[in-house]
Amino acid sequence: MSKLLIVGTVAFDAIETPFGKTDKILGGAGTYIALSASQFDVECGVVSVVGDDFPQDYLDLLTDRNVNIDGLKIVKGGKTFFWSGRYHNDMNTRDTLDTQLNVLADFSPVVPDHFKDADIVMLGNLHPAVQMSVIEQVESTKLIVLDTMNFWMDSELSLLEEVISKVDVITINDEEARQLSGEYSLVKAARKIRDMGPDYVVIKKGEHGALLFHKEEMFFAPALPLEEVFDPTGAGDTFAGGFVGYLSNSKDISFENMKNAVIYGSNLASFCVEKFGTERMLELNKEEVDKRLESFQALTQFEINLA
Amino acid sequence: MSKLLIVGTVAFDAIETPFGKTDKILGGAGTYIALSASQFDVECGVVSVVGDDFPQDYLDLLTDRNVNIDGLKIVKGGKTFFWSGRYHNDMNTRDTLDTQLNVLADFSPVVPDHFKDADIVMLGNLHPAVQMSVIEQVESTKLIVLDTMNFWMDSELSLLEEVISKVDVITINDEEARQLSGEYSLVKAARKIRDMGPDYVVIKKGEHGALLFHKEEMFFAPALPLEEVFDPTGAGDTFAGGFVGYLSNSKDISFENMKNAVIYGSNLASFCVEKFGTERMLELNKEEVDKRLESFQALTQFEINLA
C-alpha cells in the first residue's frame, strides 16, 4: 500500500454562514485533507500538533478511518489552534473574526520514522518553516504537493519561495496565483509559478472549478453546481486530500492520471460544502462518492467527431 | 441545408480596453452571431436595421460569408445604432460610455418570406417587442433561442417574460439568471427559469465558462484559459452564434447534441476575444477552429473507470 504523509493544522473552528453558526467544532487543513484522503485505500499519516484540550473523540474520528496519528503531538497544558470566521452572503468571501495560534506558535514537526519514506507528501497550509522542516525529514519521496496562501506571501515570501522551489505540485487559489506571479492571466501566472520550481500547478477557483497546468498542457475540472453551498470551510483542503489520496492509491503520478485526481478532488470537495465543517465528510460513503463521480462525467464529457 | 434566422443589432461600436481603443468599428449582436454561425455550412439570414451611414464594405463582410441580408433594412437619412464602452482592468466589467439608438428606436422587424420557415431562430439581445414580433412572423420553426440582458429585466419585464414563455432555449449570464429568478444558486435559478417556459437554459459565466441545463441534467463547457483577453466585446454573441450554427448544421436539437453546441460556441468565443471587435472572427479559418477544438477536448476529457 502507498504511504501518504499529511502535514497540516488540526484545529477548532467556529464558523458563521448565512445559514447558521457553530460553536467550536473540529477543523484544520490537516483534518480536512486526512478525512478526504482516507476515502482511498492508502496508508495515511498526519503530522500536526494540538493541545490537551483536544477531545479524544476527535482523535478517534481520525484513527477510526485508519489515519495514523503517531506524528500528531499533544502538548500538555497547551491549547489547540483556533480559527473563527464569518462568510458573506455570496459565500465566496469571508472575514476572519479570530485566530489563536496557541500550540501552533512553537510547532516543530517530527515525521515518524515509519513515514519518512512516504510516497507522497502533502504539505497543507502552514508556516513555510514547518513545511521546509518536513521536506528535510523525508527521504525518497516520489511527489511533494504544497498548499499555501496569501498570508505567507505577505509575511514570509522568501522562505515560501524556497519551499516552492522544492515541491512538485503547488495548489493555490486564483487570486494567490496572481499575487505570487504578478500576472493576471492564469495561463501566464501558471507558467511563472512553474518557473519557480513545481512541474505541476493547480489553480483553485472555488465555485468556478480548478485548473491543472503542466508544461504547455492544461486540464480543467469544474466544481459541481449545487443547489446550496452551506459552508465552504475546508473545501480547498478536501480537494487537496482527494487529489493526493487518489494519486497515492493509483500509484501513478503522470499528468494523465493527475487529471483524474483533480476530478476526484473536486468530487469530494462538492460534498464537503453541503454541511457545516467536517460533518458531511464524516458520514460519506463510497456509493455516494461513486454516484457523484458519474455526475461529473455527465457534466463534462461530450462526443465531438473532428472530421 | 438548414435555415437559420438571426435577429440582432448591426451597429457601430467604439471600445476601450487596457490594451487600447478603437474608433467606430463594426459591431452589434446580430453581426457577431452571424459571423460565428457562418463558420458552419448553413443558410443564414439576418433581420436588422442600419442607417445609410453604414458602409457597403461592412455589408459585404456579411454577404461574402453567405449571410443573407434581405432582412437588413437600410434607413435612408438614418444613423446606425452606436454603442461605446470602456472595460475595467479585470476585463470582466465595463462602463457604457454612450448609447445612440438612432434607427433602432423605431425598428419594426420584417422577416423575409424565404426565412419564415427557418429551422432555428436566434433572437439576439434586443427590445422584447422586436423579439416578439419575429416570433409571430415565423412558422414551423423547430427551435427558438433567446438572448437578453438585465436592461430589459429592469425596463420591460412583463413583455420579456412573455417572450421567454415562447422560446425553447434562453442564454443569459449568471448575474442576469440570478436577477430573473431571484435565486443565488445557479441550479435553482435555472430551474425557476425553465418553469417560465424554456426547456433549455444556458447560463454564461464569461471567463468561467457556460452551463447548460435541461430537466434535471446539467452540462458545463469551460472557457478556454487564454494568455490574454484583448477585448471581450461580442464574446457572448459569438458563443450564441456558434451554438445555433452548430445545431443548424447538425440538424439535431437533442440535449446530447446541445452539449457539443455549447462546446462549439465556447470554442468560437475563445477566438473572438483575442483581438478588437470582429477582427479575429473575420480572419478565422476552419483549420484553426478544429485545432482549438482539440484543445477543448484535452482540457476537459478524462478517463475514470468506475468499478
Q: Please state at what angle helix A29-37 crosses helix A255-272, rounded to 10 degrees.
A: 110
- A184, A209, A302: residue with CB nearest B260: A302
CB atoms within 10 A of CB B110: 14
Residue B307 has pLDDT above 60, yes or no: no
Contact (CB, 8 A) for A95 and A71: no
Residue ranges of alpha helices (H) inside A128-195 are 128-137, 150-155, 157-165, 174-181, 186-195
pLDDT in tens, B59-107: 999 999 999 999 999 999 999 999 999 999 878 789 999 999 999 999 9
Instruction: Give the C-alpha separation, A80 to A13, whole Å.
Output: 10
State the DSSP H helix or E strand holding residue B212, giving kind and residue range, or none if neither. strand B210-214
Average pLDDT, integer, range B230-255: 96
Q: Nearest Cα to B276, choosing from B67, B149, B91, B66?
A: B91
Contact (CB, 8 A) for B200 and B219: no
Question: What per-residue confidence (pLDDT) applies to B101?
Answer: 96
Report the DSSP beta bridge partners of residue B147.
B171
Per DSSP (E only), the strands in A34-173 are: 43-51, 67-75, 82-87, 94-100, 120-123, 143-147, 169-173
Contact (CB, 8 A) for B264 and B239: no
- pLDDT by residue, tens only, chain A of 307 residues: 899 999 999 999 999 998 899 999 999 999 999 999 999 999 999 999 999 999 999 999 999 999 999 999 999 999 999 999 999 987 878 999 999 999 999 999 999 999 999 999 999 999 999 999 999 999 999 999 999 999 999 999 999 999 999 999 999 999 999 999 999 999 999 999 999 999 999 999 999 999 999 999 999 999 999 998 999 999 999 999 999 999 999 999 999 999 999 999 999 999 999 999 999 999 999 999 999 999 999 999 998 876 5
Q: Residue B259 corresponds to which cell in the numbers above?
A: 452539449
Contact (CB, 8 A) for A14 and A21: yes
Interchain contact, A263 vs B184, CB within 8 Å: no
Helix (H, G, I), strand (E, B) or coil at B288: helix
A91 within some domain: yes
Say if B292 is an interface residue toward chain A (CB within 8 Å): no
Q: Residues B268, B270, B274, B275: what is their CA dihedral angle, to the nearest 10 degrees?
A: 40
Q: Residue A167 corresponds to which cell in the numbers above?
A: 515541491
Instruction: Give the C-alpha separation, B307 to B291, whole Å.
Output: 34
Q: Nearest Cα to B85, choosing from B10, B30, B24?
A: B24
The total number of structural domains in chain A stands at 1
- B185, B293, B299: residue with CB nearest A306: B293
**Which of B41, B294, B300 to probe the A interface (max A CBs under 10 A)?**
B300
At position B143, the amino acid (one-letter code) is: L
Residue ranges of alpha helices (H) inside chain B are 29-37, 56-63, 128-137, 150-155, 157-164, 174-181, 186-195, 235-250, 255-272, 279-283, 286-300
A306 within some domain: no
Contact (CB, 8 A) for B210 and B173: no
Contact (CB, 8 A) for A230 and A275: yes
Instruction: Give the C-alpha separation, B10 to B15, whole Å.
Output: 15
Average pLDDT, integer, range B206-221: 96
Chain B: closest CA distance from residue A296 (Å) = 9
Interchain contact, B263 vs A304, CB within 8 Å: yes
With contacts defined as CB-CB under 8 Å, which chain A residues touch B173? none
Q: Nearest Cα to A205, choosing from B28, B220, B25, B66?
A: B220
Say if B305 is an interface residue toward chain A (CB within 8 Å): no
Per DSSP (E only), the strands in B23-119 are: 25-27, 43-51, 67-75, 82-87, 94-100
Question: What per-residue confidence (pLDDT) applies to B306?
Answer: 63
Say if B137 is an interface residue toward chain A (CB within 8 Å): no
The CATH number for A19's domain is 3.40.1190.20
Report the DSSP beta bridge partners of residue A286.
none
Question: What per-residue confidence (pLDDT) applies to B92?
Answer: 77
Residue B174 has pLDDT above 90, yes or no: yes
Interchain contact, B219 vs A263, CB within 8 Å: no
Residue B189 has pLDDT above 90, yes or no: yes
Report the DSSP beta bridge partners of residue B219.
B212
Range of the domain at A185: 2-300
Contact (CB, 8 A) for B109 and B127: no
Task: Using the structure block, give the residue that is written with the C-alpha cell 483542503.
Answer: A237
Interchain contact, B293 vs A300, CB within 8 Å: no
Interchain contact, B218 vs A298, CB within 8 Å: yes
Residue B56 has pLDDT above 90, yes or no: yes
B98 within some domain: yes
Report the alpha-carbon angle B83-B86-B89, nearest 5: 155
With contacts defined as CB-CB under 8 Å, which chain B residues touch A89? 184
Contacts 24+ apart (CB under 8 A), B160-167: B160/B128, B161/B196, B162/B128, B162/B132, B163/B123, B163/B128, B163/B131, B163/B132, B163/B135, B164/B193, B164/B196, B164/B197, B164/B198, B165/B196, B165/B197, B166/B132, B166/B135, B166/B197, B167/B123, B167/B135, B167/B197, B167/B198
State the DSSP H helix or E strand holding residue B69, giving kind and residue range, or none if neither. strand B67-75
Interchain contact, A290 vs B306, CB within 8 Å: yes
Interchain contact, B307 vs A298, CB within 8 Å: no
B15 within some domain: yes
Q: What is the DSSP letter of B142?
A: S
**Which of B220, B227, B301 to probe the A interface (max A CBs under 10 A)?**
B220
- A187, A219, A293: residue with CB nearest B227: A187
Q: Residue B118 corresponds to which cell in the numbers above?
A: 427557418
With contacts defined as CB-CB under 8 Å, which chain B residues touch A181? none
Say if A96 is an interface residue toward chain B (CB within 8 Å): no
With contacts defined as CB-CB under 8 Å, which chain A residues touch B227? 185, 187-188
pTM over 0.90: yes
> How far from B20 is each of A126, B29, B89, B163, B275, CA to CA, in Å?
42, 22, 12, 38, 11
Q: Which residue of B has its CA nearest to A184?
A: B90
Contact (CB, 8 A) for B270 and A189: no
Name the band, by pLDDT with cuts 50, 70 and 90, for residue B273. very high
Q: Which residue of B has its CA nearest to A90?
A: B184
Instruction: Give the C-alpha separation, A46 to A70, whole Å.
Output: 8
> How far from A236 is each of A94, A152, A175, A203, B100, CA to CA, in Å?
14, 17, 14, 10, 47
**Which of A213, A230, A304 to probe the B interface (max B CBs under 10 A)?**
A304
Q: Are strands B67-75 and A82-87 parallel, antiparallel or unpaired?
A: unpaired
A199 within some domain: yes
Task: Using the structure block, give the residue that is written with the C-alpha cell 446606425.
Answer: B80
Q: Nearest Cα to B145, choosing from B221, B220, B197?
A: B197
The phi and psi torsions of A165 (rounded to 5 degrees) equal: -70, -15
CB atoms within 10 A of CB B184: 16
Average pLDDT, integer, range B157-175: 97
Question: What per-residue confidence (pLDDT) applies to A93?
Answer: 84
pLDDT > 90 fraction of chain B, expressed in percent and rounded = 94
Interchain contact, A225 vs B220, CB within 8 Å: yes
At position A286, the amino acid (one-letter code) is: K
B305 within some domain: no
Instruction: Give the C-alpha separation, A204 to A201, whole Å.
Output: 10
Contact (CB, 8 A) for B145 and B171: yes
B277 within some domain: yes
Average pLDDT, integer, range B39-62: 97
**Which of A41, A90, A219, A220 to probe the B interface (max B CBs under 10 A)?**
A220
Contact (CB, 8 A) for B92 and B207: yes
Q: Residue A203 corresponds to which cell in the numbers above?
A: 489553480
Chain B: closest CA distance from residue A215 (Å) = 14
Q: Please state at what angle helix B56-63 crosses helix B29-37, rounded to 10 degrees.
A: 30
Question: What per-residue confidence (pLDDT) applies to B205?
Answer: 95
Polymer length in residues for chain A: 307
Contact (CB, 8 A) for B123 and B145: yes
Contact (CB, 8 A) for A7 and A48: yes
State the DSSP H helix or E strand holding residue B123, giving kind and residue range, or none if neither. strand B120-123
Q: Residues A6, A7, A8, A10: what is their CA dihedral angle, to the nearest 10 degrees?
A: 80
Instruction: Give the C-alpha separation, B62 to B85, whole Å.
Output: 24
A305 within some domain: no
State the DSSP H helix or E strand holding residue A292, giving kind and residue range, or none if neither. helix A286-300
